[in-house]
C-alpha cells in the first residue's frame, strides 16, 4: 500500500468537496505538487478560476505550490494582475477602458508593480479564507491561520495569523527546523512515505532521520 494515486481528482472516496489540485489545475502558470489538496463543499474543482485571482497570461507571473499542502475552503491567491503602478500621481488604470485612454500607455510600466512569483513550499497548511498577496513566499512546514492576510514572506515552520499576518510562534526550535528541512520527507518516494508514516506523524526526530 503506497497511499492514494496522486493523479486522482477526488481522493476521498470520490467526494467532490476535496480535490488533489494537480488533477484539476490546467493553467501552465500554476504548478502544484503531488498530494496537495483543496477542500470546498461547493467549488473545489474550480480552484484555478475562483481562488487564483487577477492571474493574467500577459503578466507572466506563476503560482507554485509544493507537495503535501492542505488548503482550506476559501483560500485565495491574489496575483500581480491586481497591482496598479504607483510611481505616477494616479493609480487609476485609464488604459484598460480604451476609447482613447490607452494612447501613450507603456505596458512596461506594469513592471514597477510586479512582485514576482508566488511560492508555497511543502507540507504547508493554509487555513480557511486566508488571502495570499502577490509575490509572497511561504516556506516549508508553515501554518497560515484562518482569515490571515499574508503580505510578506513566511519562514519555514512558522505559524502566522492576522491582518497583516505576523509570526505567532515557531513550530519547533531552530535546530529541529534545520534538520527537518534537511530530511525533507515530502520529497521521498510514495513507498518510503507509506513505510514511515508513524515517524512523519510523530515527534521523534531521530526516528524520522533514521527512516529507510
Provide the annotated active-site residues.
84
Long-range CB contact pairs, 148-156, < 8 A, 24+: 156/121, 156/180, 156/181
At 37, list the grid cell: 489538496
- Bridge partners of 131, per DSSP, are 76, 149
Amino acid at each position: 500500500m503506497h497511499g492514494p494515486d496522486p493523479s486522482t481528482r477526488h481522493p476521498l472516496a470520490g467526494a467532490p468537496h476535496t480535490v488533489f489540485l494537480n488533477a484539476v489545475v490546467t493553467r501552465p502558470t500554476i504548478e502544484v505538487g503531488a498530494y496537495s489538496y483543496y477542500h470546498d463543499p461547493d467549488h473545489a474543482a474550480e480552484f484555478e478560476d475562483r481562488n487564483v485571482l487577477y492571474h493574467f497570461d500577459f503578466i507572466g507571473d506563476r503560482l507554485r505550490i509544493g507537495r503535501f499542502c492542505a488548503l482550506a475552503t476559501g483560500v485565495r491567491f491574489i496575483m500581480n494582475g491586481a497591482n496598479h503602478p504607483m510611481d505616477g500621481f494616479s493609480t487609476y488604470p485609464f488604459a484598460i477602458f480604451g476609447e482613447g485612454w490607452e494612447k501613450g500607455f507603456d505596458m512596461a510600466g506594469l513592471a514597477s508593480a510586479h512582485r514576482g512569483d508566488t511560492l508555497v513550499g511543502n507540507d504547508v497548511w493554509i487555513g480557511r479564507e486566508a488571502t495570499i498577496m502577490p509575490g509572497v513566499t511561504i516556506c516549508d512546514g508553515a501554518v497560515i491561520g484562518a482569515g490571515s492576510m499574508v503580505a510578506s514572506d513566511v519562514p519555514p515552520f512558522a505559524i502566522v495569523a492576522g491582518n497583516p499576518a505576523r509570526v505567532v510562534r515557531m513550530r519547533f526550535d531552530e535546530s529541529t527546523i534545520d534538520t527537518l528541512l534537511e530530511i525533507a520527507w515530502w520529497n521521498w518516494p510514495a513507498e518510503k512515505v507509506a513505510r514511515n508514516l508513524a515517524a512523519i506523524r510523530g515527534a521523534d526526530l531521530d526516528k524520522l532521520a533514521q527512516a529507510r
